[in-house]
């Protein structure tokens, strides 16, 4: 089955799409410039051929472990978790006996202590992901796990470590050089939220036995057109990535300040969290942007869908479906009369009916909606989805007049946290922190 976007309920007649569609020529020129200069590796994937070789050489090494502990945060973890949940759900089900992927993506002392207490270090590989090598939440865990590995494995500890970081510089690159730890690079100009189809996401995917070639091939189906050195405005205007971008920008002009990502492929629900970082960190700048809201079908029909349907009319929706999900077991034939409508039907029919009903209800309630329908829930389609949403996000940012590849506001909180831990320098941040901490607080028990 084909992978399609259904624009029927996108409310295009209510939006000023032409304002942005007329910029296709300018956007094509910018894409040619940026890809030609090597600044958009998400689209050009110049690293792909070498990465395939590196992954092939790594497979035998990874096959020697039962557990992978991934240390990373944000884009260093969200893509890996989405792929794990989509294509290796057995870990969450009874009786699992295969590979185990554990993701430490927070400053969580309970979890880190449990990993050290319960994981067998001799059967565990620790993958630390930080492009800069200075992300304290990640590198801090690395320091602690490194000591744990040394205590339990002695001189063999470094053989159980794998670093994914900058190819030339940073603290973790220094660890590679000092201890001979295996390492794969994060390509230059590839930000964390765009990095899932690099070593960042594909190492855990390979460990779990996913088809990494299919993931990359799916993304290339979307990206190759956009990275073509001869890309024209007419060709760009015909791509679904550009049309999504024009739709997203036009929606914001009309006051649609929330973008729901409603996943009616249960195993793909974690792509909502991945999309939330992608959309929010890329577009939330200079007082602009729309808030991404991940939602899971059918679960959230019974919770936040009330707000979507009957709350403030500021919401649009990307609605993810797959018509070829498994049929599952059949409902019994001897059900009570009040449930006669499902007698003998496949359990899988229910989610298709629920998805159709929710899609129609949202549209009738004034929620502009584009359905992303994948023909199958396989890795190639996941790669296409990643490529589509990543490209659409970049183009949306450009149409908005902002840079979708940086995240300046995120850095302030990081600097203040370092000041609180008494890092060197940061005099201004330490002064601001002192004012904040010594201010009179309004404290009340509850």
Beta-sheet strand order (sheet of 369-373): 4-6, 369-373, 315-321, 258-263, 291-296
Kindly name the residue from 330, 414, 418, 430 that is annotated as catalytic.
Answer: 414
Q: Are 419 and 255 in contact (CB under 8 A)?
A: no
Q: At what angle do helices 199-207 and 78-87 cross, to 10 degrees?
A: 30
Helix (H, G, I), strand (E, B) or coil at 317: strand
Burial group, residue 339, by CB count within 10 angstroms (0-12, 13-18, 19+): exposed
Could you give the residue ranges of the DSSP H alpha helices within 321-373?
348-364
List helix spans (H) across 154-270. 171-179, 199-207, 212-226, 233-237, 240-253
Round to whole Å and give the CA distance between 94 and 155: 36
DSSP H helical segments within 260-314, as ranges?
271-283, 305-310
Going by C-alpha positions, the residue among 308, 381, 415 that lies closest to residue 3 is 381
Question: Which residue is catalytic, options 53, 168, 302, 445?
Answer: 302
Structure tokens at 20: 């942005």
281 classed as catalytic = yes
C-alpha to C-alpha distances, 92 to 33, 80, 108, 191, nearest whole angstrom: 45, 15, 20, 30
Which of 94, 105, 109 has the alpha carbon at shortest distance from 127? 105
Alpha-carbon distance of 43 to 83, in angstroms, equals: 19
55 vs 244, 265, 307, 430, 443, CA distance in Å? 33, 28, 45, 44, 54
Task: Give the C-alpha separation, 38 to 227, whole Å.
Answer: 10
Nearest to 277 by CA among 383, 190, 193: 193
Active site residue 160: no
> Catalytic residue at 59?
no
Residue 352 burial (10 A CB sphere; 0-12, 13-18, 19+): middle
Q: How far is 88 from 374, CA to CA, in rounded Å?
A: 19
**Among the options 21, 175, 258, 281, which is catalytic?**
281
Structure tokens at 219: 């993304």
Cite the active site residues: 281, 302, 414
């Amino acid at each position: 089955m084909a992978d399609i976007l259904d624009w029927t309920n996108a409310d295009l007649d209510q939006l000023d799409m032409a304002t942005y569609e007329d910029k296709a020529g300018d956007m094509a020129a910018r894409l040619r410039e940026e890809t030609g200069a090597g600044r958009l590796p998400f689209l050009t994937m110049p690293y792909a051929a070498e990465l395939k070789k590196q992954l092939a050489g790594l497979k035998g090494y990874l096959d020697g472990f039962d557990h992978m502990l991934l240390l990373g945060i944000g884009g260093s973890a969200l893509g890996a978790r989405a792929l794990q949940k989509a294509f290796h759900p057995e870990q969450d089900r009874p009786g699992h006996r295969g590979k185990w992927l554990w993701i430490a993506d927070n400053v969580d002392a309970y979890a880190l202590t449990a990993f050290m207490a319960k994981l067998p270090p001799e059967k565990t590989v620790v993958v630390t992901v930080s492009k800069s090598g200075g992300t304290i939440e990640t590198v801090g865990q690395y320091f602690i796990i490194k000591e744990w590995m040394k205590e339990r494995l002695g001189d063999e500890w470094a053989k159980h470590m794998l670093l994914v970081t900058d190819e030339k510089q940073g603290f973790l690159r220094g660890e590679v050089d000092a201890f001979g730890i295996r390492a794969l690079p994060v390509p230059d100009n590839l930000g964390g939220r765009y990095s899932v189809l690099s070593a960042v996401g594909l190492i855990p995917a390979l460990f779990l036995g996913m088809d990494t070639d299919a993931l990359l091939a799916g993304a290339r189906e979307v990206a190759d057109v956009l990275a073509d050195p001869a890309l024209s405005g007419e060709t760009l205007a015909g791509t679904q990535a550009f049309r999504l971008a024009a739709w997203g920008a036009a929606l914001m002009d009309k006051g649609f300040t929330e973008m729901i990502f409603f996943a009616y492929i249960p195993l793909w629900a974690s792509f909502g969290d991945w999309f939330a970082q992608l959309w929010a960190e890329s577009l939330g700048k200079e007082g602009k942007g729309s808030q991404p809201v991940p939602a899971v079908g059918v679960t959230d029909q019974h919770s936040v869908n009330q707000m979507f349907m009957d709350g403030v009319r500021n919401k649009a929706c990307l609605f993810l479906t797959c018509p070829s999900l498994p049929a599952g077991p059949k409902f019994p034939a001897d059900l009570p009369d009040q449930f006669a409508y499902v007698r003998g039907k496949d359990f899988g029919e229910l989610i298709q009916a629920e998805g159709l009903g929710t899609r129609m209800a949202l549209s009738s309630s004034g929620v502009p909606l584009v359905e992303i329908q994948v023909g199958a829930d396989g890795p190639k389609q996941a790669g296409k989805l990643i490529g589509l949403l990543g490209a659409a996000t970049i183009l949306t940012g450009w149409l908005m007049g902002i840079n979708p590849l940086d995240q300046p506001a995120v850095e302030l909180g990081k600097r203040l946290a370092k000041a609180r831990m008494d890092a060197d320098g940061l005099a201004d941040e330490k002064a601001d922190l002192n004012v904040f901490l010594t201010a009179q607080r309004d404290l009340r028990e509850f």
